A and B are shown apart, each in its own frame.
Chain A
Amino acid sequence: MASHTSKAFLSLGRINVHGLGLQKPLSRFTYATALTISSANTSKGLPDRGGRGSFLRKPKRDAGEPRTEKMPVDQDWTAVYPAATPFRPGSVPLPVRMGYPMKGSIPPEKKGNLELIKIPNFLHLTPAAIKKHCEALKPFCTEWPSALDTDVKCDEHFPIKLQSTDYVFAGPSVRNPSARIVTLRVKVSSLNLDEHARKKMLKLVGKRYCKDTDTLTITTERCPLRQQNMDYVMYLLTVLYHESWKTEAWEAEKTVADMEEYSWEDSPSQRNILGTLVHMKVAGEGEGEEVREQLLGRKEVQEYKDSVTRLKNEGESESHMLQYKEAVKKLLNL
């Protein structure tokens, strides 16, 4: 009982110490010893109600030693920190120190250290805890199908790829408007299209087609919900497919400027070269269509045709220019 009341007055001593500056603990001790004699006579019934206004006599129970003292070395740490919680100095048996030290001193200790509470800690993610998580999740998982072990096979069986993003962020509501965006990717070669249909589809989609990877990418964010956007994008693909198979009446008006690729037949290049050859009288005497037909069948003319087509379709490069040069030299016997 004496120790109990002396502790109550230890707190009193401490409060006064703040006002007076750095006091030696000696003064606290004298305070305590002086007053225990008088308080020993008072009743021990209701210590906190002792006298009006003497709210200093709070029944201070001992805080008790922190849990760290009683922790065995081989305890189950996942039981101490099962989920993500802020740092608790009484539960972590490590002598951590954090903070900028005073001159000639060390960083402040973990007890009452706000810096350790501010930072996120990963005490709940030890390897043992992660193993436990995985074990708990295993019954809900299914094996990856063994037949789909390469990317090529996946593309072959599942040519259409739909992509959407889920967002995690901090806030009272879980809704994010960007989560409704859906992207569809499909390889045009995996669709059943003939030449005309393929050209028409590429013209219809325009910029959404990537020539290098032969991928058609359609992105929708038109509808407010993700499911609606998914349905819409599948609808778009279906419509594109069916429309590209149809031939409209106005497609007959396709001009040379609309052509996607360069074709040598009936082009100025053909006319020019044939005219030059006829002028040079390479095939011998004779005018008219048969001469031109004969010329066309010649190997050098075919080579020339290949090199010009290549140049126009694939762009200029060293090898193409060289090929063109060789073809021209052979044709004109230079």
Chain B
Amino acid sequence: MAASLSSAGNVRLLSTLARSGSLLSSSGSRSLHVTAVCCKNRAARIRVGKGDNPVTYEHAHAPHHIAHRKGWLSQHTSNLKGEDGAAERTVEDVFIRRFMFGTFHGCLANEIVIKRRGNLLIVCALMLQKLPPTKFYFLIGYSETLLSHFYKCPVKLEIQTLMDKAVYKYL
């Protein structure tokens, strides 16, 4: 709900800022329409609202707080100097995040943390206690087996469950 509100507001904001410089000519020739640039940074930020939207620590901080107040969600050696494989690791990370989001649908309390220790891929996730434990165990085993077969390396899932999301503040 909060997300849809912000997008509608964005459209309205853009339309008020838009100044279309179009040249109208009777002969029906085409012209270029330009709008002013909306110099606003919108990446990974939850806009301040009424104060009823609970937000985790991860979502409360914008990307420029990474390395100052936030750590990294994914850790591997490929981004160091002289090491290769950065692109492959990134694609793997993206796939793993989507996979986890889909497999444990609605249960994720926070972002997935991916760690790589040599050959081993460790996926740490915080979950809500929405499913009975037996279902959790099945899904964990299923994910581990499927991902290890897919990536040809051992994959371990470290799941912690909470009663509800750890709220940092209300926006």
Residues of A within 8 A of B (CB): 14, 18, 20-22, 58-61, 63, 84-86, 88-90, 99-100, 102, 108, 111-115, 117-120, 168-172, 174
Contact pattern, B 102-143, Cβ under 8 Å of A = 1, otherwise 0: 000000011101011111001010100100110000000000
Indicate if the CB atoms of A174 and B113 lie closer than 8 Å. no
Q: Kindly state the separation between the CA atoms of A320 and B104 in the bound complex, as whole angstroms.
A: 83
In Å, the complex CA distance between A59 and B133 comes to 11
Asked whether A171 and B57 contact (CB < 8 A) given A60-B129, A99-B69, the answer is no
Q: How far is the CA of A120 from the CA of B117 in the complex (A)?
A: 11
Contact across chains for A172 and B152 when beta carbons are under 8 A apart:
yes
B169 A63 Cβ-Cβ under 8 A: no
A21 touches B166 (CB 8 A): no
Instruction: Compute how far the CA of A58 lies from the CA of B153 in the bound complex, rounded to whole angstroms.
Output: 37
| Bound-state Cα–Cα, A43 to B56, Å | 40
The answer to whether A170 and B77 have CB atoms under 8 Å apart is yes
Residues of A within 8 A of B162 (CB): 111-112
Q: Which 10 A-B pairs have the closest CB atoms?
A: A112-B166, A170-B116, A118-B71, A170-B76, A100-B69, A21-B52, A172-B153, A169-B77, A170-B77, A86-B124
> CA separation between A60 and B57, bound complex, in Å?
27
Q: Which of A63, A115, A120, A170 contacts B163 (CB 8 A)?
A: A63
Q: Is the CB of A120 within 8 A of B118?
A: no
- Chain A residues within an 8 Å CB radius of B58: 114
Are B166's CB and A172's CB within 8 A? no
Closest to A88 in B: B160
Interface size of B by Cβ–Cβ distance < 8 Å?
Answer: 51
**With A108-B168, A170-B76 as given contacts, are A115 and B57 in contact (CB-CB < 8 Å)?**
yes
CA distance A102 to B171 in the complex (A): 13
Q: Is the CB of A169 within 8 A of B83?
A: yes
Cβ of B75 under 8 Å from chain A: yes
In angstroms, Cα B78 to Cα A111, docked, is 31
Residue of B nearest to A103 (CB): B169
Min Cβ gap B105→A in Å is 15
Whether A108 and B83, one on each chain, are in contact in the complex, defined by CB atoms closer than 8 angstroms, is no
**Other contacts beyond A60-B129, A112-B162, A114-B113: 6, CB < 8 A:** A63-B161, A84-B117, A108-B168, A115-B57, A170-B116, A172-B152
B97 interface residue per 8 A CB criterion? no
B77 near A99 with CB under 8 A, answer no
| A112-B110, A112-B165 known; A171-B116 Cβ under 8 A | yes
Q: Which residues of B contact A86 (CB under 8 A)?
A: 113, 115, 122, 124, 158
Q: Which residues of A contact B70 (CB under 8 A)?
A: 115
A111 touching B166, Cβ below 8 Å:
yes
| Cβ-defined contact, B83 with A100, below 8 A | no
**Contact (Cβ within 8 A) B170 A118:** no
- The answer on a CB contact under 8 Å between B78 and A171 is yes
* CA–CA, A20 and B52, complex, Å: 8
Find the B residue at minimum CB distance from A167. Answer: B83
Is B113 a contact partner of A112 (Cβ separation < 8 A)?
no
B18 within 8 A of A: no
Residues of B within 8 A of A117 (CB): 113, 124, 126, 160
Q: Is the CB of B126 within 8 A of A118?
A: no
Contact A171 B89 (CB under 8 A): yes
Complex CA gap A22/B124 in Å reads 30
A210 CA to B109 CA in the complex, in Å? 62
- Tell me the chain B residues, 14-62 only, with Cβ under 8 Å from chain A: 50-52, 54, 56-58, 61
Q: Cβ of A112: which chain B residues have Cβ within 8 Å of it?
A: 109-110, 126, 160, 162, 165-166
Alpha-carbon distance between A21 and B50 when the two chains are bound, in angstroms: 10
Residue of B57, B116, B165 with most partner-chain A CB within 10 A: B57
Which residue on chain B has the smallest CB distance to residue A118? B71
Cβ proximity bits B70-108 to A, threshold 8 Å, 1 near / 0 not: 111101111000010100110000000000000000000
* Residues from chain B with Cβ under 8 Å of A171 in the complex: 76-78, 85, 88-89, 116, 119
**Smallest Cβ distance from B137 to chain A, in angstroms?**
14
Q: How far is the CB of A212 from chain B (nearest CB, A)?
A: 29
Chain A residues with Cβ below 8 Å from B129 are 60, 63
Closest A residue to B161 using CB positions: A63
The residue in chain B whose Cβ has the minimal distance to the Cβ of A99 is B57
User: Among B65, B110, B119, which residue has its beta carbon within 8 angstroms of that of A114?
Assistant: B110
Closest residue of chain B to A174, judged by CB?
B119
